[in-house]
Amino acid sequence: MSSSTKPSTAASEITKEGEFRRQVSSFRSFVEPGPNAEFPAEAGRYHLYVSYACPWAHRTLIVRKLKGLDSLIGVSVVNYLMGPK
């Protein structure tokens, strides 16, 4: 595999034994009900754009449904095909 096709991974994510260890996420805020929430769950405040080409898109759609946010957060599905630009 050439370096141009090799996936980029931070060296800090690979142990000396070659095991991949994901970094701790820096995203720790949540959409929550209540007027004092950092990100209040309000209809029309957020919109989710997903592409089915993204391997994590289905996770965002599942969480939106499981948390009961589907009536508050709209969804747009963008084209899965990425052009040259």
Angle at 61 between CA 63 and CA 51, to 5 degrees: 145
Please indicate whether residue 54 is annotated as part of the active site: yes
Catalytic residue among 14, 37, 53, 54: 54
What count of other Cβ atoms lies within 10 Å of the Cβ of residue 11? Answer: 5
Task: Classify 62 as helix, strand or coil.
Answer: helix
Query: Catalytic residues, which ones?
Result: 54
